[in-house]
Amino acid sequence: MEALFPDSLIVRNQTKIVFLIVDGLGGLAMGGKGGSELQVARTPNLDALAAGSLCGLLEMVAPGVTPGSGPGHLALFGYDPVQRHIGRGVLSALGIDFPLRENDLAARVNFATLDEDGRVIDRRAGRISTERARELCQKVKSAVDLSPVEIFFEAEREHRAALILRGPNLEADLTDTDPQATGVSPRTCRATHPRAEGTAELINRFLQQTRHILSDAAPANMVLLRGFAQYEKYPSLEERYGLRAIAIAKYPMYRGLARLLGMTILEPYRDYADMLERLRSRLAEYDFFFLHIKEADSRGEDGDFEGKVRILEEIDGLTPALQDLRPEVLVVTGDHSTPSALRAHSWHPVPVLLHSPSARADGTPHFDEYHCARGGLGTRPAVELMSLALAHAGRLTKYGA
């Protein structure tokens, strides 16, 4: 259950809250590697920061439930990921600044590779370039006919794209066609409610036509769809918490989620130095800063243990500059675990540190899954993190007499 924040509880002041979200942060020990990615990585700055912070683990949705990135981020921002669930399609569309209208149906797309028997052998089509994805989107969009429904098919980043359908009687009660596995065929789209039967037929028509259109486009010779959703307005961070919020993120999906929650969206940053400079330049204007780093998740999904370790070590180098800005609250965590050993998101709780002058530092000696498990925060629902950040920033007053 997400926390309620009546206006009488919110304190508006000049304090700053920074959330550094390392996508896919959590990991697992992998044979012969000596521990998880965080345990193996040389992170002296994060370790020193953890020693002076309040640390713990976050359950993103519920024990044993593997979260998608959307639910994970919603929980971090204090929105119950079950009550407030939104499909990935809407986030992808908003992330590329697509002007969604009420009742538009959106889905997140992966270009993928099928073998000659129609089985998925690469869910990401070798991570084709964004430019190539843009070409293929145009090729599909110009050839598919779903009359009278209008189709928009837009590249997102690398192998990802967004599919938007606009027309009468569209419904989002649909199953994904992405099997989330290789060696099997894409799934047929099915309605999970009778009212969506017509929409399911429409999606399967789209897939049948698209497979024919992309038959000569290997490695991107098919698309996989997931996260069907229709747009609805969410209460913003300003409305819920009195926070003027800004997102500094590179990948469209996370920019879309930030837009859904009313954050100001900056242009994608070029590199980590550019991300920090954007934070410095806007520090006086905003109260809440969402910094998102994607690469750790990508390396984990590729099973690249050493690559994820290198990314974590690069991120460690950001920590001193963030501390030098002296935000009243600095949080470092992730939206889910992506162990290289599993090559996928997992249900494992995510390490978190909350650094603040008013925090009860617990002396955690190393910022990893196993030391944070013994930290002062314990293991708690991620949806509680925002209220803790607000409290440590002096932005919540006493409740009741």
pLDDT at position 252 is: 82
pLDDT (mean) for 107-121: 95
For strands 160-166 and 105-114, give the pairing. antiparallel
Q: Domain limits of the chain? A: 17-85+234-392, 91-230
What average pLDDT is seen over the chain?
94
The pLDDT value recorded for residue 7 is 77
260's tokens: 């859904």
Residue 123 has pLDDT above 60, yes or no: yes
For residue 399, report the phi and psi dihedrals to the nearest 5 degrees: -100, 120
| Model confidence at 1: pLDDT above 60 | no
Q: Output the DSSP codes for 14-80.
A: S--EEEEEETTBB----TTSSS-HHHHS--HHHHHHHHTSEEEEEESSSTTPPPPHHHHHHHHTT--
Of 349, 376, 374, 375, nearest to 26 by C-alpha is: 349
As a whole-number percent, the residues of the chain with pLDDT over 70 amount to 99
Which pTM value belongs to this model?
Answer: 0.81
Alpha carbons within 13 A on the beta-carbon side of 38: 27
What mean pLDDT comes out for the span 191-208? Answer: 96
At residue 31, the pLDDT reads 82
pLDDT digits (tens, 9 = 90+) for 207-222: 999 999 999 999 999 9
Please state the separation of Cα 104 from the chain's center in Å: 22
Question: Residue 51 pLDDT > 90, yes or no?
Answer: yes
> Distances from the Cα of 278 to the Cαs of 19, 101, 148, 330, in angstroms?
14, 31, 44, 16
The residue among 243, 250, 208, 260 whose CA lies nearest residue 86 is 260
pLDDT at 2 (0 to 100): 64
- The pLDDT, as a whole number, for residue 232 is 80
Beta-carbon contacts of residue 238 (< 8 Å; ≥ 6 apart): 244, 245, 262
pLDDT of amino acid 251: 87
Average pLDDT value for residue range 88-95 = 85
Superfamily of domain 17-85+234-392: Alkaline Phosphatase, subunit A (3.40.720.10)
Q: Which fold has domain 91-230?
A: Alpha-Beta Plaits (3.30.70)
